[in-house]
């Protein structure tokens, strides 16, 4: 009888743990807007546990205008014709309010310099400066404090030197 009772209690514990993780509170990314100055995303995360600590991660990439510079000053700056793809990531910690919501402002700043080889700079240029990135894609991921993904949205972006427009591609929960 004792073995039967122990087996039943163990089964109930396993089922209740499985059910609670399936119905655990997650997070939902809402109302995201993008702007330039690097790539900036503003929005809100909802449906979190009250006072939950989470991380919002912005990853982005796109072809860049790169200036090749001769450090000796013998040659004028030259714009690379290769437009290499540059990657940028930014993150911010947020804490939900009593209603499980939090606003976020996250900036993904591209590197200032890349290798002259990657940039396609001609021989004799020693520095490749990232002048501007034409962001073509972005993703926003919300994780819990342990790094487990709670929500993710992917975007396709169109960028000019004056503005950026990003539209949601898909959503994964």
Give the closest residue to 106 by CA, choosing from 28, 25, 37, 49.
37
Name the burial class of residue 107, with classes exposed (0-12), middle (13-18) and buried (19+) by CB atoms within 10 angstroms of its CB. middle
Domain total of the chain:
1
Give the whole-angstrom CA distance, residue 31 versus residue 93. 18
Residue 7 in domain: no
The number of beta carbons lying within 10 Å of the beta carbon of residue 168 is 13
Q: Is 19 helix (H, G, I), strand (E, B) or coil?
A: helix
The number of beta carbons lying within 10 Å of the beta carbon of residue 164 is 23
Tens-place pLDDT, residues 93-122: 999 999 999 999 999 999 999 999 999 999
The pLDDT-based confidence of 71 (bands split at 50, 70, 90) is: confident
Residue 102's domain spans which residues? 25-172
Task: Give the predicted TM-score (pTM) of the model.
Answer: 0.81
Residue 74 in domain: yes
Residue 32 in domain: yes
Residue 1 in domain: no
The pLDDT-based confidence of 74 (bands split at 50, 70, 90) is: confident
Residue 123 in domain: yes
Whichever domain contains 57, its CATH number is: 2.60.40
- What is the pLDDT at residue 72? 86
Residue 19 in domain: no
Question: Lowest-confidence range among 10-24, 30-44, 84-98, 157-171?
Answer: 10-24
Residue 108 in domain: yes
Residue 139 in domain: yes
Question: Lowest-confidence range among 3-7, 34-38, 141-145?
Answer: 3-7
């Amino acid at each position: 009888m004792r073995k039967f009772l122990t087996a039943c209690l163990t089964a109930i514990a396993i089922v209740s743990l499985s059910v609670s993780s399936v119905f655990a509170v997650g997070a939902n990314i809402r109302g995201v807007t993008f702007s330039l100055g690097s790539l900036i995303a503003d929005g809100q995360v909802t449906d979190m546990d009250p006072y939950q600590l989470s991380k919002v991660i912005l990853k982005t990439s796109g072809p860049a205008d790169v200036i090749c510079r001769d450090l000796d000053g013998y040659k004028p700056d030259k714009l690379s014709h290769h437009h290499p793809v540059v990657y940028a990531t930014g993150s911010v910690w947020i804490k939900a309010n009593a209603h499980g919501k939090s606003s976020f402002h996250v900036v993904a700043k591209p590197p200032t310099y890349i290798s002259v080889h990657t940039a396609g700079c001609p021989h004799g240029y020693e520095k490749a400066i990232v002048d501007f990135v034409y962001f073509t894609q972005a993703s926003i991921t919300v994780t819990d404090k342990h790094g487990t993904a709670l929500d993710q949205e992917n975007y396709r972006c169109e960028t000019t030197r004056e503005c950026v427009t990003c539209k949601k591609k898909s959503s994964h929960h």
